Amino acid sequence: MKFFIDTADIDQIRDLAGSGLVDGVTTNPSLVAKSGRNFLEVIEEICGIVDGPVSAEVAALDHATMLKEGRRLAQIAGNVCVKVPLTWDGLKTTRALADEGTPVNVTLCFSAAQAILAAKAGAAFVSPFVGRLDDIGHEGMDLIADIVEIFAAYPDTIDTEVLVASVRTPVHVIQAAKMGAHVATLPPAVLRQLALHPLTDKGLAAFVKDWEGTGQSIL
């Protein structure tokens, strides 16, 4: 499974990218707004830090303007992945950009039917939002299971990757990985949580204590 980080915080991206565990970045208008910076400048800077796909979302709602914005975003860097909403206009834009060779991340997916349409439109990624489904009493991971199963049934015709979004906890990540989802996009805090376990901390503390008792030094 690939890990993207879901943020527009340059410091966080630079720090986590240095771990070698980050395969890409996803952003959205809300995340960029929190940075207080110019949108295009932020995307360009992120693309210079991360080699993998960097999702940059259009702001328009109509196809014609979405397409213009998508083309403009694609000019920023070779690793920009244009993000569009899962609407009819978004799907039309996906098809047009994909035909031009621009990868597209179709976002705000909440049903398997929508995911099928995104794949048919040529999306590089489709982003089902598990946390937001959980918020309204649905089981978000059931949607991931459905989409993965459907896409796997058409290996010769569907290249779209399932990008699990609205991830809230490490449990979401583990469940998605077991289902065979291709990508999880994580808030920086959740990515860091994946490395944590109280028994690791306990064991390390014991090792450190025992080593200090030897009075030795490796260096």
Q: Which is it for the CA torsion 101, 53, 176, 137, positive or negative? A: negative
In a domain, 92, yes or no: yes
Q: What is the CA radius of gyration of the chain?
A: 20
**pTM for this prediction:** 0.93
Report how many domains make up the chain: 1
Q: Is residue 48 part of a domain?
A: yes
Q: Whole-angstrom Cα distance, residue 211 to residue 111?
A: 54
Retrieve residue 111's tokens.
């049903």
Residue 71, pLDDT > 90, answer yes
Decide if 64 is inside a domain.
yes
CB 43, CB 58: distance < 8 Å:
no
219 is a domain residue: no
* Inter-residue long-range contacts of 200-208, CB under 8 Å, 24+ positions, other chains counted: none
Residue at 165 is within a domain: yes
34 pLDDT tier (thresholds 50, 70, 90): confident
| Catalytically annotated residues | 83
Task: Name the pLDDT band for 121 (thresholds 50, 70, 90).
Answer: very high
The enclosing domain of 149 has a CATH number of 3.20.20.70
Nearest CA to 187 among 174, 169, 175?
A: 169
Other CB atoms within 10 A of residue 83 CB:
26
Is the model's pLDDT at 29 over the cut of 90?
no
Which range of residues forms the domain containing residue 58? 2-214
Residue 130 included in any domain: yes
Q: What is the pLDDT of residues 135-175, one digit of tens each?
A: 999 999 999 999 999 999 999 999 999 999 999 999 999 99
pLDDT over threshold 90, residue 18: yes
- Of the candidates 16, 59, 30, 21, the one whose C-alpha atom is nearest the C-alpha of residue 166 is 30
